[in-house]
Structure 1
Amino acid sequence: MLNIVLFGPPGAGKGTQAAKLIEKYGFHHISTGEVIREEIRQESPLGRSMKSYIDKGHLAPDELVIDIITEYVCKHKDCKGNVFDGFPRTTPQAEAFDKIMEMHGAPINLILSLEVPDEELIKRILLRSKDSGRADDRCESVIRNRIDVYKAQTAIVAEHYKKQGKYRAVNGTGDIDGIFRNLCAEIDPLLK
């Protein structure tokens, strides 16, 4: 089993690239952000508690996200591979994630980080807002806050995985297929 984390700031193209990876390799996919947004759409107790965080561009509490991931890993122990999108977002989440995955005999193999300049991220998210319906995609100040939160809390997770030799930076600008080829160039050697 190959376990990949698709890493990068909001608007880097993680969801787009995850869909292409799943189609090519037959991996399973989990987007913690999508799980949380679905809970918000359903107005579940979890969704209502998360809405105030998301609307302000803040991260979900670690405990909640770790519970979501643990449940997912338990259900997908025997698959070909997984693409984790939007997780881990903090160093405590990364540490807990490593323990969960090791406990299930399925360690993280690779962290692929999509690198995109801030102004390009803002442009992409504002464009995406026309289709997404997400309140946190419509306001530039909220978008900038999300990017700042990413830099302060999530980008530092890269150091955790660099120390393990699992981190790879991938240029996230250019056309979608070119970015995809760059991601595949990092994954293919692990499948041999």
Structure 2
Amino acid sequence: MYIVLLGPPGAGKGTQAQRIAAATGLLHISTGDMFREHVKNNTELGQLANQYMSRGELVPDEVTIKMLLERISRDDAKAGAMFDGFPRNVAQARALDEALAARGARVDRALLISVPDEELVARLSGRWICRNCGRLYHERNDPPAAPGRCDACGGELYQRDDDRPEVVRSRLEKQKPPADLIEHYRSAGVLREINGLQSLEAVTHDLLEAIK
């Protein structure tokens, strides 16, 4: 079984991917982890990918697909795999479809964790950091006792530029699964949409039910 896990930043894909992998025994393939492994081992593909990563550019689809095929050819992927962070667009989805078809396989489920934009902004933009000791706070989930001040040392709390709401909104627009990618899997009859506003346990339950 091959599963694609889709969702915007802040939807909890990474956490849910680990929980699904533990419950099903499927190999969890994170493209970020895959890139880091190849770069660390200084493979030919790793050297190629690093040329782009070191410049802050996206690794080309061709390189990523080759890494994925190498990864799912290993013994620990015999039962299948769950792709986290790939595909990011329709071109990558089609390349994955072709690669799996050549092995007599296909994407069996595309699981989309849906969360409204405003909720995502609230989750991602609420982080504050103590300038003095570095302790992290979240204005909704873990707020300080006194606004703007660290509970531990009394230091001033500040927000990184990347965590500001307007920056988060801009990042979301760039990193959300595009509509045509979602439609690609919907038209293939494998898309299942999961309500990401539920509790962690409820989202896991619904994801596992969708896989069944």
TM-score above 0.5, yes or no:
yes
Looking at structure 2, the residues matched to 64 and 143 of structure 1 have their Cα atoms a distance apart, in angstroms, of 29
The one-letter code sitting in structure 1 at the alignment partner of 2:85 is G
Residues 1:8 and 2:32 aligned together: no
TM-score between the two structures when normalised by the length of structure 1: 0.77
Looking at structure 2, the residues matched to 86 and 5 of structure 1 have their Cα atoms a distance apart, in angstroms, of 8
Q: Does the CA contact (< 8 Å) of 2:52 and 2:59 recur in 1?
A: no
TM-score between the two structures when normalised by the length of structure 2: 0.71
The one-letter code sitting in structure 1 at the alignment partner of 2:181 is V
What's the offset of the Cα at 1:83? 0.9
For the structure 1 residues 60 and 160, does the alpha-carbon distance in structure 2 shift closer, same or farther, using more than 3 Å as the test?
Answer: same
Where does residue 71 of structure 1 map in the other structure? 70
Q: Does the CA contact (< 8 Å) of 1:4 and 1:83 recur in 2?
A: yes
Q: Which runs of 5+ in 1 are unaligned?
A: none
Q: Does the CA contact (< 8 Å) of 2:72 and 2:78 recur in 1?
A: no
The one-letter code sitting in structure 1 at the alignment partner of 2:52 is S
CA displacement, residues 139-192 of structure 1 (integer Å, 9 cap, x when unaligned): 5555333321234x634211111111011111111211010111111112xxxx
Residues 1:150 and 2:150 aligned together: no
Where does residue 187 of structure 2 map in the other structure? 163
CA displacement, residues 105-125 of structure 1 (integer Å, 9 cap, x when unaligned): 221100000001122223333
For the structure 1 residues 52 and 173, does the alpha-carbon distance in structure 2 shift closer, same or farther, using more than 3 Å as the test?
Answer: farther
The one of the two structures with greater contact order (alpha-carbon pairs below 8 A, sep at least 6) is 1
Q: Does the CA contact (< 8 Å) of 2:2 and 2:107 recur in 1?
A: yes
Looking at structure 1, the residues matched to 113 and 182 of structure 2 have their Cα atoms a distance apart, in angstroms, of 12
Considering only aligned residues, what root-mean-square deviation do their CA atoms show, in Å?
A: 3.2
CA displacement, residues 16-67 of structure 1 (integer Å, 9 cap, x when unaligned): 001001111111010113334667889974345224446xxxx543223222
Q: Which moved more, 1:93-102 or 1:80-89?
A: 80-89
Where does residue 131 of structure 2 map in the other structure? none
Which structure has the bigger radius of gyration? Answer: 2
